[in-house]
Structure formats: C-alpha cells, structure tokens
A and B are shown apart, each in its own frame.
Chain A
Amino acid sequence: CRASGDEKPAKFQPPPKPVIIDKQKQRAERRFLSPEFIPPRGRTDPLKYYMERKDMIQRRRVFNIPEFYVGSVLAVTTADPYANNKSNRFVGICIQRGGKGLGATFVLRNVIEDQGVEVCYELYSPRIQAIEVLKLEKRLDDNLMYLRDALPEYSTFDVNMKPVSHLDHEEIPVNKLQVRMKPKPWSKRWERPKYNIKGIKFELPEIKMKEAQKWSQPWLEFDMLREYDTSKIEEKIWKEVNEGLKK
C-alpha cells in the first residue's frame, strides 16, 4: 500500500498479455510441392512452363487436389456418362505418379473380386469430381509397380474404407512394409539393382541375388551430367504457386 495519499492514484495498468509459444508452429513447416510443377531438363522455353503453371494454379483454386504420395490410398470420383448416377468412384493405392505439367497422371491399383485393376487418372482432368486421401503415407520406393507380382493381399483395399485421420503438423509416416512376392517369373526382374527396390522381401537364393548384382552400374551415382539440382527452381515455383493460390 502507498503511504500518505498525496499522489494521484496511478492510471490502471493492465497486466502484460501472456505470451503463448505455440510448439506446433515452431516445428519447421512442412512444404510440399507437387512433383508435376517441377519442369524437366530440356531446351524448351520457360514461358511454356509458366503458361502451364498458370492453368494448373487456376484449376487448383477451383478444385482441391490434396497432397499425396506413392503408397497412399486414394478414392477418386469421376464423371461417367455411361454409369448409373453419372459418376464413378474408385478406391486404390497410388503406385505411380508420372507426367509433368497439365498432363500429370497417377495410377491407382486395387484388387476387386480377385481381379487386379489399375486405373490411370489425370490430375487436372475436368472429369474428376473429387479426390479424397483415405490414408496418407509413404513407402520405401517411388514406384510400386512390383505390386503386380506381389501376393494379391498387398494390393487389396476395402472400397468402403473410412479415411484415416492425419494431423497437419505431423510428419508423413513411412510404411516400411516388405512385400512378399508370387513365385517367379515376374513382369520385370525386380531383383536387379537398376530398379533399386527396397520394399520387397526377396526369398530368392543367394546365388540369384549375386548374379543380379552383375547388372549394377556403380558409376551412375557419380555421373555429374545426370545431376539435376531442383532446389532453387523449387523455391521459385513454391513462391509462385503460393501467391497464385492465395488470391
């Protein structure tokens, strides 16, 4: 208490606001730039890629294309003039993402009534009405084409599967599943080092694995002409895409 009240009562100072440190935002924000935005190496005029990117950003503003990787389970509804409700829904695991620019595609695989089915969809096609990510995860490889020669249980996914929730700030889980294969012959010789597959549990004899290493090309990783450093290009395109989507 103040002694002798000759001073005027001081103006009420509100207590300082508490500073909330949001630990979630402190973690590095995960940046995902869809691979079809990165232009391939070549002698094409960059203006052509700029025009394509404008169209892609325009499409993304109207229609949401979620973030997904090879190995995540997606459900895609397309417009089909010959179906009952004029729409067609397909659920499957993404085994491959190809193409650059507006022609970017992704292949979904599922086994329906003991028959393996693969459907290739174009990301920017206007016939696609919805893309939902049911399970967002990565696998050990970029290309899961070996699932064609794997046991069918690894490619079956329930058509009425519920979406598995995924929080924004968590890192994407990597499924380190090693897949068991059907007996040989396979569509491709997956044991050879050029495919560089880590997600198969090879049950082949040691002699066969050693013989496959004959086709290895250990000089490839040191070939400087094959290097394509996309870090700076990605930075620029990331800024461009973000500004385009904010408008």
Chain B
Amino acid sequence: MMPIWTKSGERHAVTLLKVQDCHVLRYLSKEESGGKTAKLLVGGKNVSPFSKPESAHQIFKEAGVPRKQKVTTFNVTDDAIIKPGTPLYAAHFRPGQFVDVTAKTIGKGFQGVMKRWGFKGQPASHGQTKTHRRPGAISTNKASKVYRGKKMPGKMGNIYRTSFGLKVWRINTIHDIIYVNGSVPGHTNCLVKVRDSKLPTCKEYNKNPPFPTFFADGDEKLPEDLFDEEIFQFTDPSVTY
C-alpha cells in the first residue's frame, strides 16, 4: 500500500495490483454454462505444468497458454465476448473507474468468539471463575434449541470477500499495475479478482471503458502512466492555496 495525494492536498492510501499473465481460456455460452449470461473463463499467473496431471492441462492447451495458478469465471454480455487465448492487460481499466475486488481473506485458523464475532466477553476480575472470553448464553429458554447459524468459535478467514466501489487512481501500462483506492482483502502477493463495480452510484463513472478489452497490438498507443484528473503528479510543483 502506498500514499497518494490529490491536487487539493488530501492524502489517500492506495493498493497496487499487478496484472500478471492473464489470458482468456474458454467461452461458455448462456445455455452451456446454465446461467443468465454468457461466461468467460480467465486464468492468471503462470505456474509450472509439472505439478498437475495431463488431464488438467486440457483447457490451457486449447487456448495455447501455459498452465495458470487460478481460473475464474466472469459473467459477460454477448457483445463483450473475447476469443480464447487473448491476453488481458491492466489498461482494460482506466483511471476514474470504480472497481470491486474479491480475494480470499487472511486465514486466522481456529479462533474464539471474541476475535471471530467481536463479542465482549466477561470482566477480568470481580469474581469471574474461569470465564473471560467465553460466549455466555447461546439461546433463550423458550426456544429450547440453538438456532442455525449461531455465532460460535470456529475457523476464521481464508474465505472469499469483496471490497466494493474502489476507485482506480492510476494505471501503469509497462508493468501492468492498477492503483486501487483503499485496502483489498487478502495477504501480500495473493491472487485477486477485479471486476467493474456493481454499485448503482458508480454506474456513471464506468461509462466508456475500452470495449471489449484493451488490445496491445491494436492502434491505440498509451503513455507509460495513466493518471486520474485529481491526482497530484510528482512532475508538478508543490501545492499552493
């Protein structure tokens, strides 16, 4: 995470996400996938092909791409279908867009009720016998059962969670890095899924994206860094009021 300053001098924290060897692997039409829209399978981050059997390499061989560590699905409309085998770059997103980021949270193992659910526990002194971090009562008398989903100790973390509505401040086209506002679930260097935001307030900012994606061998030549309008670029002199 890194600090970033706007032209009015406000400071925001930013997470760097690197787009590492992302390729489209397969196209599934609406009937095939059994959903409401067509699906595209996308794989990210090359990894050695020797740790999995040959049968697992089927998808990658069809697309002509080395084996990927993670394969995810994206729901796409019919006009945004991309041919399997095309690489995806960071320039698919532009500064000023809003983005949802999904990843597996840091695993904390088996945790008690105070850390996992934020219970208050019991006082440290004043006669408490062996009860300082316990859940206390788990149900009422009338119910005479414990409801399903009762908050209790268990394995915490290592589940998929999403941060919604994160602004994209800056894109680096050479190293394929997206600078995304705020924090993102997951540990450092973990794999992360970035999608256009579903929030209704962010719809107007997500208009005019590179559609269906940014093609590197196309006509458009982008500069090394794309900045949002409000960012303070370090080539400018200091801020004055």
Contact = CB atoms under 8 A, between A and B. Distances in A.
B189 A86 contact: no
A125 B172 CA distance: 21
B210 interface: no
A77 B237 CA distance: 14
Interface in B209-225: none
B27 interface: no
Given A103-B2, A103-B3, A127-B9, A44 B189 contact: yes
B48 interface: no
Interface stretch (A47-55, A110-118, A178-186): A47-55
A58 to B, nearest CB: 4
A80 B241 contact: yes
Contacts of A79: 9, 238-241
Interface stretch (B122-130, B141-149, B159-167, B228-236): B228-236
Nearest to A101: B2
B241 A45 contact: no
B9 A122 contact: no
Nearest to A58: B234
B188 A44 contact: yes
Interface of A: 42-45, 47-48, 51-52, 55, 58-59, 62-63, 79-81, 86-87, 101-103, 122, 124-129
Interface of B: 2-3, 5, 9, 11, 16, 18, 172, 175, 177, 188-189, 232, 234-241
Given A47-B177, A127-B238, 15 more contacts: A45-B18, A51-B172, A51-B175, A52-B2, A55-B234, A58-B234, A58-B235, A62-B235, A63-B238, A79-B9, A103-B2, A126-B232, A126-B238, A128-B238, A129-B240
> Nearest 6 pairs between A and B by C-beta?
A58-B234, A81-B241, A59-B234, A126-B239, A86-B241, A127-B9
21 contacts: A43-B188, A43-B189, A47-B18, A48-B16, A51-B2, A51-B16, A52-B2, A62-B234, A79-B9, A79-B239, A79-B241, A81-B9, A102-B2, A103-B3, A122-B3, A124-B234, A126-B236, A126-B238, A127-B9, A127-B238, A128-B238
